[in-house]
Amino acid sequence: MPFYLTTPIYYVNATPHIGNAYTTIAADVLSRHHRQRGHDTFFLTGTDEHGSKIARVAAEQGLEPQDFVDRMAPQWQELPKRLSATPDFFIRTSDEGHKAVVQEFLQRIYDAGEIYEGTYDGLYCTACESFYTEAELVGGRCPQHGTVPERVEEKNYFFRLSAYQDRLLALYDENPEYVLPRFRYNEARSFIAGGLDDISVSRASQRWGIPVPWDTDQVIYVWVDALINYWSALTYAREGEDLRETLWPDVRHLLGKDILKFHCVIWPALLLAAGYEVPKQLFVHGFLLLDERKISKSVGNVIDPLDLIDVYGVDPVRFYLLREVQFGHDGNVSVQGLHDRYERELGNDLGNLLSRTTAMVSRYRDGRIPDAPWDESPINEVITELQVEVASRLDRFDLTGALEKIWEAVRGLNAYVESQAPWVLAREGEQTRLDQTLYDLVDGLRAVAIALAAYLPETAPRILGALGQPGDLAWNGVAYGGALPAGDIEPASPLYPRVESPAAAA
């Protein structure tokens, strides 16, 4: 089964902050999970390099736009690596392969008669790379950036978006889960139902972009250029292969709520106009906030994810963001919050469980894991539920709910240690029950490690290693009774060593 997942492509002029890292981390968790299930997974991310915003910043720095983007792109290419994210391809919209496909794509829409020439007179926010109507402005300012938009009047090419209203409504009505979560589906659908204006798809006053194929005095509007990345990448990501044959339209887009209209309305319409199939599904996530304000470069309250990673490690940062904020909603994050969950959940709940389990195997069974699965084991049920529930929640992009399910299992195992009290069983010579209990703890932790591997890619192999278990992460390993008898188990060193104070990362 193909599973093709994308992140938005990031504006290359900025430096990565925790809000952008969030989308990449979420996409990576889903991609890793689908790989564990044996799906034909393809994860795409990259950079958005054209448009007036980039041209302006390049000019401010006295650089040619191409030199500027070439200097900025490496830090974005580095970001997935620093986040332990595993994209299968990194697209840059300045790639020749992308540019050619964008031109071909637009030409098809033009040839279909869906593009016409007109004059644009409107208010443009460069930070959004988007036009606004007077009604959409708040006190005459951009609703996202609070800046005063510029008046732009020029000859442009227009796409007949208005003609796609009925087809888009039908698409939404036939696919009640086309956009998730549901309140975002409603938002997109009402926007369409409210009537669509045609959109300008070219810029006459700019040079930094992909030339309009039939009128090279104009460049293609940066958002049209950018959206097509999801399609173009498949044509050249693998030399000699056209991945569209296997992966399109099985694509799922992850995006933040600020760019819903482009993805949930304009993008499917552009595909329909070009005669291609629309994406399978879109998931819209919320914003990470700091003190209730969006974390963004323009607000100036950015948290550098790399600073947090330096202090806490990458797994805790991945874990914290997906656990703290219900995926799909807005939510506050803070360094103190990360510190607390690091100590309480990763250090105590998970780390101590491993330390205690390995210490008891070492002490009571001389480092040998007893081969003692048993029919009435309560852990059997816990793990079976984990296998089914985590997968089904992740199929609905419920990354927070799936993680909560795993944490229930972690807490369940901790409660099992207390209720079985292996130290009492040892003292009283209850050998069979002691064997069964130790087996259950090892097997439960092994299954939890596999279930957690998509979230904690560095920690999971360490847990399996400490338990003397093979590193195979296949999803069917999340089943009771998979622990292999192993010897030489030693008390594990702490998974998450103490970090003195959150100030270090602030």
Q: Which residues bind ligand MSP (CB under 6 A)?
A: 8-11, 19-20, 22-23, 48, 226-227, 229, 255-256, 258-259, 287-288, 294-296
Which of 288, 372 has the CB closer to ligand MSP? 288
Residues 397, 32: Cα–Cα separation, whole Å:
13
Which of 295, 360 has the CB closer to ligand MSP? 295
Residue 389: which residues within 8 A CB-CB, separation 6 or more? 402, 405
Tokens of 444: 């439960």
Q: How many CA atoms lie within 13 A of 263 on its CB side?
A: 29
Smallest gap from Cβ 15 to ligand MSP, in A, equals 10
Smallest gap from Cβ 296 to ligand MSP, in A, equals 5
Tokens of 127: 């930070």
Smallest gap from Cβ 117 to ligand MSP, in A, equals 25
Residues 274, 275, 281, CA angle at the centre, nearest 5°? 95
Smallest gap from Cβ 317 to ligand MSP, in A, equals 14
Whether 455 contacts 29, CB under 8 Å: yes
Closest residue to ligand MSP, based on beta-carbon distance: 256
Smallest gap from Cβ 97 to ligand MSP, in A, equals 16
Cα-trace Rg, the chain: 26
Which of 20, 387 has the CB closer to ligand MSP? 20
Whether 61 contacts 221, CB under 8 Å: no
Which of 168, 289 has the CB closer to ligand MSP? 289
Smallest gap from Cβ 47 to ligand MSP, in A, equals 8
Q: How far is CA 13 from the centre of its chain?
A: 21
Smallest gap from Cβ 1 to ligand MSP, in A, equals 25
Question: Helix (H, G, I), strand (E, B), or coil: what is residue 482?
Answer: coil
Block residue for tokens 């996202």: 144
Smallest gap from Cβ 236 to ligand MSP, in A, equals 17
Smallest gap from Cβ 14 to ligand MSP, in A, equals 6
Which of 128, 448 has the CB closer to ligand MSP? 128
- Tell me the one-letter amino acid at 37: R
Tokens of 53: 């915003």
Which of 262, 439 has the CB closer to ligand MSP? 262
Block residue for tokens 């209990």: 437
Q: Taking every pair of C-alpha atoms in the chain, what is the biggest distance, in angstroms?
A: 88
Which of 155, 261 has the CB closer to ligand MSP? 261
Smallest gap from Cβ 472 to ligand MSP, in A, equals 34
Whether 368 contacts 438, CB under 8 Å: no
Going by C-alpha positions, the residue among 187, 190, 215, 189 that lies closest to residue 201 is 215
Question: Helix (H, G, I), strand (E, B), or coil: what is residue 114?
Answer: coil
Smallest gap from Cβ 110 to ligand MSP, in A, equals 21
Which of 259, 451 has the CB closer to ligand MSP? 259
Which of 115, 288 has the CB closer to ligand MSP? 288
Which of 26, 369 has the CB closer to ligand MSP? 26
Whether 285 contacts 22, CB under 8 Å: yes
Which of 10, 364 has the CB closer to ligand MSP? 10
Q: How far is CA 190 from the centre of its chain?
A: 26
Residue 138 DSSP class: B
Block residue for tokens 């430096």: 15
376 backbone dihedrals φ, ψ, rounded to 5°? -90, 15
Residue 59: which residues within 8 A CB-CB, separation 6 or more? none
- Secondary structure (DSSP) of 131-168: EE-GGGSBTTB-TTT-PPPEEEEEEEEEE-GGGGHHHH
